[in-house]
Amino acid sequence: MTAVTARAPAKINVHLAVGPLRADGFHELRTVYLAVSLFDTVTARPGDGLALTVTGEGTGAAEGADAVPTDRRNLVWRAAELLAEHAGVPADAQLEVAKSIPAAAGLAGGSADAAAALVALDALWGTRADRADLLALAARLGSDVPFSLLGGVALGTGRGEQLTPVLARRSWHWVLGIAGEGLSTPSVYAELDRLRDDGRVPDGADLLPAEPVMAALRSGPAIALAAALANDLQPAAVGLRPALRRALRVATDAGALGALVSGSGPTVAALAEDEQAAVGLAAAMAGEGVFRTVRAVAGPVPGARLVS
């Protein structure tokens, strides 16, 4: 086998309820993930030891939260080591990550890459790991990695890694407004803890129920889904990045049925009535100059898959 390529989608959280800080340093989550049509690809070729290159979105001179490492700190590298150890094969591969999902954007780009790497390397090495094994390895790599494998729409509990597929009636059209600079996920959680300590937002002891958003996903109308969107991390992301307040307003003023910060941000996910409305919304959002990039996407889409 000379080269195997897998791709995996970005996610948005249409519901993200964050519980109090747990003793293990994580927060209890109740989230509804939805995979959207913005994909990173990972190509794996035979090699001697591991080698990794990363190209594409935000990988140029990015620093700080957006920096994408090309060594063992990259989730793709760790995915390769973990699968090799699990399967008892040598970790030999040349890996090439082509990013369209911006880093540190709240879109789970790193998790998508890790999931795509597991799928590509499983094929390259012929390890034939079953789905349950891959999901267990994914959970060891990061809270969002199991969802990047699964795709579609799913309820995530625990740290977000315990998944239950959710029925969705249709596909929806979204516009992603991506800011110039990323936000580090741990810093956004720390800001939420601070806001809670100060009594400025509810303490999260009662996790916000996901039933309204799940009912909207079952029923179908975009306006119902727009009304049910919720993200406990939004005040923290806005606290760290006040420009997000204006970005959210720009999306709704431009005609979004609803808009929220995706995950830990700073991407704004804006929901449109249909594909044509999404194209118009994307143009209007791009014209305001508050986003570095604006992308019209659709979802749900499947999780990590081989493409060649």
Catalytic residue list: 11, 144
Q: Looking up tokens 């948005």, which residue turns up?
A: 12
Q: Please, is 70 exposed, middle or buried when counting C-beta atoms within 10 Å of its C-beta (0-12, 13-18, 19+)?
A: middle
Of 103, 138, 163, 192, the one binding ligand ATP by CB under 6 A? 103
Q: Does 68 bind ligand ATP (CB under 6 A)?
A: yes
Instruction: Name the closest residue to ligand ATP (Cβ).
Output: 110
Q: Taking CB under 6 A as the criterion, which residues in 149-208 touch ligand ATP? A: 185
- Min. distance of Cβ 250 from ligand ATP in angstroms? 21
Of 5, 41, 43, 74, the one binding ligand ATP by CB under 6 A? 74
Render 64-119 in DSSP notation, one character per residue. Answer: GGG---SSTTSHHHHHHHHHHHHHT----EEEEEEE-SPTTSSS-HHHHHHHHHHH
Q: Does 266 bind ligand ATP (CB under 6 A)?
A: no
Beta carbon nearer to ligand ATP, 5 or 74: 74
290 — phi, psi (to 5°)?
-95, -15
Of 107, 155, 176, 296, the one binding ligand ATP by CB under 6 A? 107
Q: Does 75 bind ligand ATP (CB under 6 A)?
A: yes
- Min. distance of Cβ 26 from ligand ATP in angstroms? 12
Q: Does 227 bind ligand ATP (CB under 6 A)?
A: no
- Min. distance of Cβ 180 from ligand ATP in angstroms? 14
Per residue in 166-179, is it b (16+ CB within 10 Å) or e — as a string? bebeeebbbbbbbb
Beta carbon nearer to ligand ATP, 181 or 221: 181
Of 113, 122, 161, 232, the one binding ligand ATP by CB under 6 A? 113
Of 14, 16, 105, 178, the one binding ligand ATP by CB under 6 A? 105
- Min. distance of Cβ 95 from ligand ATP in angstroms? 10
